[in-house]
Structure 1
Amino acid sequence: MSPIIDLDLPLPPTAEQIARDMKRWALGRGEKGMANYRYIFGPRKARELGVSLEELERLSRELSADAFDELLLEKAQLLVISLEDFVQQMDEAGIEWGAFRHVDNDYTAEIIAQFPGRFIGQVLANPHDGMQGVRELERAVVELGLHSFYASPFRYGLPPNDKKFYPLYAKAAELQIPVFVYVTMNYNSALPMDLSHPRHLDEVAMDFPELPLIAGCGGWPWIPDMIGVARRHQNVYIDTESHRPKYLATAGSGWEMLLQFGNTLLQDRVLFASNWASYFQPSTDVLKRVVSEMQALPLKPDVLDKWLYHNARALFHRD
């Protein structure tokens, strides 16, 4: 079995991040449209802190804002994993290196320098910022040494083919770096459900045929369309981000076509990406669990090695 590359390997959150996300995701406190996430993710997020969502809501009403924040931080401390322990988990799970992103590109570069060879960085640059965003992408790659661009329609409220993204795509092509694109549905009730439909990526692939485009989240629930786009364009790759691996092989999950084509015609363009934090709470064996579920998929052994390692290694020129 080859080593493993995880192209969406989020760092373990700090207590402050866990508490902030709890208020945003579980209690529906945040920007417009995010309240819907409370109904979908709230109960599980609350259980991670050892309480029910109803109990958490009651405490948020009864306690002062400061007291409630203090309570969240206290409970969140139980889920904190140090970066050193996380890298040890990577070793135990057989993960050679992984990709991650942070709102602060300089912080991303600091982590990469702290753990040489274990991480690569995805640049965040705002398409609404025009040339300022383009300059930030170039700075992050040329000066900070980051390795790819993460285009998030969800974050910026634009479909992938919106022309505000195009200067960033052009710069990425010039810098010869891959682009990750969030390609899936979203639960934000203030955004269209199909904001990131694979059909939008089709136009980008047509306009930038030399630019490697990685469709994050596999294009679910539009897997047939995602497969069609990948079959049309040799520069389109598909990753498995944010979906628990064991469900990829579950009948009726919608992933059947990816497993079929990913085991045959598209075997060189499917990439393992976990985003483990979207379905597992931080724990001492979380990465082992993710990897073991991937290794159990009904794929030919040589194809599994491609998904888990060789395709990403070749794409990022680490052969």
Structure 2
Amino acid sequence: MSDIIDVWMQHPTARFINNPIFESLRRWTGGQTVEETPPASLTLGLMDEGKVNKGLISAWYAPHGDMISNEEVKELVDAHPDRFAGLAGVDLRNPVKAVQELRRCVNDWGFKGLRIVQWLWELPPTNPYYYPLYTACVELDVPVCLQVGHTGPLRPSETGRPIPYIDQIALDFPDLIIVCGHIGYPWTEEMIAVARKHPNVYIDTSAYTVSRYPAELVSYMQSDKHKVMFGTNYPMLTHAQCVESLESLGLSEVALERFLSGNAKRVFGL
């Protein structure tokens, strides 16, 4: 099998796992709260079990503070550079400091992009708070990674709509690389339409196992080999769960290689 790169995962801290906003996800997945941050060896072992070579691990910032800090991501990347690459998080509400932090993460620490989870802020991605960061991503030549589709946590889903939001961003920033995680369900056809329309828009499959990929997404993956990337949303799903039944997708050898790693290497410069 091809190399596998996970473009959306977290090495969770205790304050990430235990956060009340994930209570509904813990109920669905059977996850538990923890007393301390799990060791890196746990995450690496689960990656090995799923034969995942490398993961883009995200920092998480929300209005109440950091759930996984950029410093914690850097520490893991520095300790395991062959297995992890970093995605920055920032505080949207302070645009100047947010841009400065993004520049530090990319220029000084080698991070590969910016992750913003819109539902944490309850702000659509066309809100003015985002636009200085999009400009910085273009200047730094790194992707912005956004969430699309409904929210598992009990927060409003409107901020995850591909149309009008992702469509509008791609029009306003034609040079911005936009990676849309969580496939866009239940607006998957909208998400595919936006990815077809804009050469700078991509999709990742995080938060879904193969058996739950919508048929229209599978058809798109078979016909357009350079727009969809593999993701898990670990620790919500394990890597082994997300690679199970890959053969059922019916992808050609070329399409499978690009989905599992080739597109990620190109888009994120890995």
**TM-score band, normalised by shorter chain:** 0.7 to 0.9
1:195 to 159, 172, 180: 159
Using the alignment, how far apart are the partners of 2:42 and 2:155 within structure 1?
Answer: 38
The equivalent residue for 1:251 is none
1:305 to 246, 252, 257: 257
Would you say the 8 A contact 1:90–1:287 is kept in 2? Answer: yes
Structure 1 position 186 matched with structure 2 position 186? no
Using the alignment, how far apart are the partners of 1:17 and 1:239 within structure 2?
Answer: 22
Question: Displacement of 1:88 after TM fit?
Answer: 3.7
Deviations 1:165-223 (A, max 9, x none): 000000011000011011112256663x3222101011111111111100111111101
The equivalent residue for 1:260 is 219
The equivalent residue for 1:6 is 6
SS at match of 1:195: helix
Would you say the 8 A contact 2:205–2:232 is kept in 1? Answer: yes
The equivalent residue for 2:47 is 90
Using the alignment, how far apart are the partners of 1:287 and 1:81 within structure 2?
Answer: 16
Deviations 1:1-42 (A, max 9, x none): 21100101222555x654x24x5533xxxxxxxxxx3xxx45
Deviations 1:105-155 (A, max 9, x none): 111111100102211111111221121111111111112221100122112
Deviations 1:203-261 (A, max 9, x none): 1111111111001111111011111111110000000111122211xxxxxx1211111
Using the alignment, how far apart are the partners of 1:95 and 1:230 within structure 2?
Answer: 26
Question: Displacement of 1:95 after TM fit?
Answer: 1.6
TM-score (norm: length of structure 2): 0.87
Using the alignment, how far apart are the partners of 1:219 and 1:13 within structure 2?
Answer: 26
Using the alignment, how far apart are the partners of 1:316 and 1:189 within structure 2?
Answer: 31
Output the aligned Cα RMSD: 2.3
Residue correspondences, number? 261
Would you say the 8 A contact 1:12–1:82 is kept in 2? Answer: no
Using the alignment, how far apart are the partners of 1:243 and 1:89 within structure 2?
Answer: 17
Would you say the 8 A contact 1:126–1:156 is kept in 2? Answer: no
Using the alignment, how far apart are the partners of 2:7 and 2:95 within structure 1?
Answer: 27
Question: Displacement of 1:48 after TM fit?
Answer: 4.3
Which is helix-richer, 1 or 2?
A: 1
The equivalent residue for 2:84 is 119
Would you say the 8 A contact 2:232–2:239 is kept in 1? Answer: no
Mapping for residues 1-319 of structure 1, pairs under 5 Å: 1-11=1-11, 14=14, 18=17, 20-21=18-19, 23-26=20-23, 37=24, 41=25, 43-44=27-28, 47-49=30-32, 73=34, 82-102=39-59, 103-186=68-151, 191=156, 193-199=157-163, 200-248=165-213, 255-264=214-223, 266-278=224-236, 280=237, 286-318=238-270
Question: Deviation above 4 Å: which 4+ runs of structure 1?
Answer: 187-190
Using the alignment, how far apart are the partners of 1:24 and 1:149 within structure 2?
Answer: 22
Cα separation, partners in 2 of 1:117 and 1:128, compared to 1, 3 Å: same
Unmatched segments (≥5 aa) in structure 2: 60-67
Higher relative contact order (CA 8 A, sep 6+): 2
Cα separation, partners in 2 of 1:287 and 1:12, compared to 1, 3 Å: farther
TM-score (norm: length of structure 1): 0.75
**Larger C-alpha radius of gyration, 1 or 2?**
1
Identity %: 27
Cα separation, partners in 2 of 1:290 and 1:212, compared to 1, 3 Å: same
Unmatched segments (≥5 aa) in structure 1: 27-36, 50-71, 249-254, 281-285
Using the alignment, how far apart are the partners of 2:150 and 2:42 within structure 1?
Answer: 33
Using the alignment, how far apart are the partners of 1:189 and 1:230 within structure 2?
Answer: 27
Cα separation, partners in 2 of 1:204 and 1:221, compared to 1, 3 Å: same
